């Protein structure tokens, strides 16, 4: 199957899609650049055992578009991109593979900056950086920001506070029950913020290591068997913090929460789900708005990382979320539609300035 033979996946909106292969290390990667209207594209590298090349391509196209919108609403002068490495990281990840991938990133000459995502971690970024300058999410020892999940979770918490104020009149989760699906990189930090804020937590994770961490660190968390049990529990807020597609034709009708605010990317399984949520009276805070703390953190590395500066900008997700929810009410549209409009407006207005010749 060719790289663009995707059974209907449309790559026409993207500026550039690059297929990268190194047979000796087993590297198979796709880099998607959706837009550089605001600046060089920034987005993480996902290392995942997709069923097919078509699945990998479909994911990178969707994720890179989401990054363009996320970076725009985060107020960054950065475009949107993403990369996927096709394979099981537990089996095929190696120094050689990561460095080969780094050389492909370097070959784009700064059109794309990479960072961590599912299946890639800070030490991996340090390895990739041995072959390219265009990498963020590096270790503190190498001048980077370290774990970007820290500010991702902080931003999700701020978005959740904004949604709580919009719905219940007070920017706190105290006295509310929050269901977290996924206690990995982001979910574990989010759990800490919510507990400190006085929330009651219900959670699930497919990984026994994550469940063991929760039992040892926060024994007050009520662990349930799976997502189905979680979403049908008596929860006020649902926080999807694992892979995308969490809000679909099966989960939304069963969901008992009043709010959905989570760290996962691409939570809406397909267009129209946001309308189903609205019809059920469930307020959805767009994922790419509330989970932008991580990209804010790694983007700060480009100018020399300062944690307090990055955290202050990530705290602004509270105000951005409030603005979008208010705009959605004013215009009578779903919050996801309001967020898209604001992102597209900024990309058009600021991106247009690049047409002014500077000589």
Contacts of residue 26, Cβ cutoff 8 Å, sequence gap at least 6? 87, 92, 97
Q: Using the 8-state DSSP alphabet, how is residue 19 labeled?
A: E
Q: Evaluate whether 193 touches 311 at the Cβ level (below 8 Å).
A: no
Residue 237 neighbours by CB distance under 10 Å = 25
Task: Tell me the C-alpha distance between 247 and 166, whole Å.
Answer: 21
Q: Evaluate whether 229 touches 253 at the Cβ level (below 8 Å).
A: no
Please identify every residue annotated as catalytic: 82
Inter-helix orientation angle 149-168/317-331, to 10°: 40
Q: Using the 8-state DSSP alphabet, how is residue 12 labeled?
A: T
Task: Tell me the C-alpha distance between 216 and 233, whole Å.
Answer: 23
Q: Evaluate whether 105 touches 114 at the Cβ level (below 8 Å).
A: yes
Q: Evaluate whether 72 touches 346 at the Cβ level (below 8 Å).
A: yes
Instruction: List the structure tokens of 256.
Output: 């008992």
Residue 343 neighbours by CB distance under 10 Å = 23
Helix (H, G, I), strand (E, B) or coil at 42: strand
Task: Tell me the C-alpha distance between 286 and 261, whole Å.
Answer: 7
Q: Tell me which residue has tokens 């995942």.
A: 48
Helix (H, G, I), strand (E, B) or coil at 343: helix
């Amino acid at each position: 199957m060719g790289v663009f033979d995707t059974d209907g996946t449309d790559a026409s909106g993207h500026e550039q899609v690059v297929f990268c292969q190194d047979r000796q290390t087993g590297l198979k990667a796709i880099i998607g650049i959706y837009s550089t209207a605001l600046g060089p594209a920034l987005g993480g590298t996902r290392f995942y055992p997709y069923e097919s090349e078509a699945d990998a391509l479909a994911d990178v196209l969707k994720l890179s578009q989401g990054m363009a919108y996320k970076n725009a609403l985060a107020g960054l002068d950065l475009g949107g991109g993403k990369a996927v490495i096709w394979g099981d990281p537990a089996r095929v990840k190696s120094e050689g593979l990561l460095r080969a991938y780094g050389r492909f990133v370097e070959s784009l000459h700064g059109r794309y900056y990479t960072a961590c995502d599912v299946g890639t971690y800070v030490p991996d970024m340090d390895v990739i950086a041995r072959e390219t300058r265009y990498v963020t999410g590096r270790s503190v020892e190498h001048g980077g920001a370290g774990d970007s999940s820290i500010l991702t979770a902080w931003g999700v918490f701020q978005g959740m506070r904004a949604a709580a104020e919009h719905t219940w009149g007070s920017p706190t989760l105290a006295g509310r029950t929050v269901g977290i699906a996924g206690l990995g990189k982001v979910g574990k930090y989010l759990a800490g913020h919510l507990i400190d804020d006085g929330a009651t937590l219900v959670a699930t994770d497919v990984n026994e290591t994550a469940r063991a961490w929760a039992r040892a660190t926060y024994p007050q968390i009520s662990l349930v068997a799976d997502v189905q049990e979680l979403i049908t529990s008596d929860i006020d807020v649902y926080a999807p913090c694992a892979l995308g597609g969490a809000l679909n034709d099966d989960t939304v009708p069963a969901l008992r929460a009043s709010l959905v605010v989570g760290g996962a990317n691409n939570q809406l399984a397909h267009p129209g789900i946001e309308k189903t949520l609205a019809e059920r009276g469930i307020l959805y805070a767009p994922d790419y708005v509330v989970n932008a703390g991580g990209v804010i953190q790694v983007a700060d590395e480009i100018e020399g990382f300062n944690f307090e500066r990055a955290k202050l900008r990530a705290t602004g997700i509270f105000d951005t979320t409030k603005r979008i929810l208010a705009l959605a009410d004013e215009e009578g549209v779903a919050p996801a539609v309001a967020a898209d409009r604001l992102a597209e407006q900024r990309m058009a207005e600021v991106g247009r300035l690049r047409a002014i010749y500077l000589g």
